[in-house]
Amino acid sequence: MTGLVKEFLLPDLGEGLTEAEIVRWLVGVGDSVTVDQPVVEVETAKAVVEVPCPYAGVVTRLWGREGTILDVGQPLLAIGEEPAPSVEVSDPSGSAEGSGSVLVGYGTSTPAARRRRVLVPTPGSTVTVPAAVEVARAGSVRVISPLVRRLAKEHCLDLGTVRGSGPGGLILRKDVEQNNQVPYAHAAPAPNAPALSGESAARTPEAVLIPLRGARRTIADKLARSRQEIPDATTWVDVDATRLLDTKQQLTIRDDAKVSLLALLARICLAGLARHPELNATLDTSRQEIIQLPSVHLGFAAQTERGLVVPVIRNAQRMKLPELSAEIARLTARARAGELAPADLSGGTFTLNNYGVFGVDGSTPIINHPEAGMLGFGRILPRPWVVDGELAIRHLCQLSLTFDHRVCDGGAAGGFLRHVADLIEQPASLLRLL
């Protein structure tokens, strides 16, 4: 390899993030890249993002495999200015898209995409190859693509049991797909290995060990900090949501567009915060100040394959119901697709939690630090209820409010919750706000 080689370092991804985990490489050694071309997909504590490279040239080295955690400022890859002597390994079958006969991660849609550049060093030259290739050369597990490893992991497949059909016994995607019934062999601890506290009971060969990292670690750290720092209290009330459901149905018929129940509940929550701004606040312990915030950046809890995330609706207090419903739908779709940016998950001032979707009635949520409150909704069920002195079947729901008792007292918290409950029971008074 001749010419200048530039190292591309893991950039600062913003929002106070200091590290990222490699999910998959979008390029390989020998590939040509252009300026601002995405080269790697990484998972931060807040989202999965593609990282673009600021240099053009040929990839000469990759740092880290799938699952490697890198700190901001550590090398990601090296780019050479001049192409390396190379040969191309083509799809031997010449088959169409989806054949599974190519290296995973380099596509099968076009002839150009079905080729993988493989560096061939000239005499006297040196070429740095990624660690995954070194493993393949060693003959232990012949895998280059991190996506093959990821697919094997998803199928609980021990790659050591797979016979590769690629060049030199290289394991390809189709090899994993054809052998996805083989379970991992759980390695037993060494006979004389020291055990951690409780390990003899927990670390059995059948135990599933899940690294606490990425989004899961961030959630754990944030919840632990919330409980350590915030003296929270919870208050709750049962509410008759029958008329709210009727209103939702009428709005759907009138506007010929589906209005989500979460959007209605969010609009009611915003009305409660407008009357009780004490809960749209945070506490600055260093200056001993309660900061009541002028705008409501409303977060809402959403369960995804990556775990619990809280997308944030910016300046939600300015939105009418149709706009609010559309924004919730947009953020929910991006969350489930893993496409939320870190900024979409930061800066919330109050959180809405519809845990009723899990089929439960009540909860005592942990506050999303450094916010001052979280409003939760349980499932809505038909139950007996007294209306005007008569027993009737109504659709009931339990509301719960967890609040920072340093920021407000029970009177303000109870007033907020009661106002929310009243709007749910008498939504006609809410119509002017929609």
CA trace torsion 124, 125, 131, 135 (10° rounding) = -40
Residue 194, judged by CB atoms within 10 A of its CB (0-12, 13-18, 19+), counts as exposed
Q: Where are the domains of the chain?
A: 5-178, 233-433
Tell me whether strands 5-9 and 75-80 are parallel, antiparallel or unpaired.
Answer: antiparallel
Nearest alpha carbon to residue 175 among 114, 102, 106, 95:
102
Q: pLDDT tens across 113-137, in order?
A: 333 333 333 333 333 434 433 333 3
Structure tokens at 262: 């979460």
pTM equals 0.60
Structure tokens at 367: 């506050």
* Residue type at position 96: A
Spatial separation of the C-alpha atoms in residues 198 and 24, rounded to whole Å: 35
Tell me which CATH code domain 233-433 carries.
3.30.559.10
Task: Give the Cα separation of 60 and 278 in Å (integer).
Answer: 56
Q: What is the pLDDT of residue 21?
A: 84
- Please report the pLDDT score of residue 169 as a whole number: 76
| Contact present, 235 and 413 (Cβ < 8 Å) | yes
- What tens digit of pLDDT does each residue of 179-233 get? 754 333 333 344 444 444 455 566 677 788 777 776 777 778 888 999 999 999 9
CA distance 20 to 425: 46
> So what's the pLDDT on residue 306?
72
| Distance, CA of 389 to CA of 426 (rounded, Å) | 18
Residue 69: strand pairing partners: 21
**Annotated catalytic residue 369:** no
Torsion-angle region of residue 230: left (phi > 0), alpha (psi -120 to 50) or beta?
Answer: beta
Query: What is the DSSP pairing of strand 381-387 with strand 350-353?
Result: unpaired
Nearest to 38 by CA among 80, 8, 73: 8
Q: Pseudo-torsion of CA 150, 155, 158, 163, nearest 10°? A: -90
230 neighbors 373 (Cβ within 8 angstroms): no
With a CB cutoff of 8 Å and minimum separation 6, the contacts of 323 are none
Token readout for 411 is: 């009177």
The whole-number pLDDT of residue 164 equals 80
Give the active site residue among 297, 369, 395, 405. 405
Q: What is the pLDDT of residue 15?
A: 60
CA 244 to chain centroid, in Å, comes to 32
Q: Is 47 exposed, middle or buried (0-12, 13-18, 19+ CB in 10 A)?
A: buried
Residues of the chain with pLDDT under 50: 1-2, 84-140, 181-197
Residues pairing with 38 in the sheet: 52
Full 3-state SS string of the chain: CCCCEEEEECCCCCCCCCEEEEEEECCCCCCEECCCEEEEEEECCCCEEEEEECCCEEEEEECCCCCCEEECCCEEEEEECCCCCEEEECCCCCCCCCCCCCCCCCCCCCCHHHCEEEECCCCCCCCCCCHHHHHHHHCCCCCCCHHHHHHHHHCCCCHHHCCCCCHHHCCCHHHHHHCCCCCCCCCCCCCCCCCCCCHHHHCCCCCCCCCCCHHHHHHHHHHHHHHHHCCEEEEEEEEECHHHHHHHHHHHHHHCCCCCHHHHHHHHHHHHHHHCHHHCEEEECCCCEEEECCCCCEEECEEECCEEECCEECCHHHCCHHHHHHHHHHHHHHHHCCCCCHHHHCCCCEEEECHHHHCCCCCCCCCCCCCCEEEEECCCEEEEEEECCEEEEEEEEEEEEEEECCCCCHHHHHHHHHHHHHHHHCHHHHHHHC
Residue 110 pLDDT: 34
* Residue 119 to residue 34: CA distance in whole angstroms: 19
**Which of 94, 77, 84, 92 shows the shortest CA–CA distance to 28?**
77
Give domain 5-178's CATH number out of 1.10.533.10, 3.40.50.10610, 1.10.580.10, 2.40.50.100. Answer: 2.40.50.100
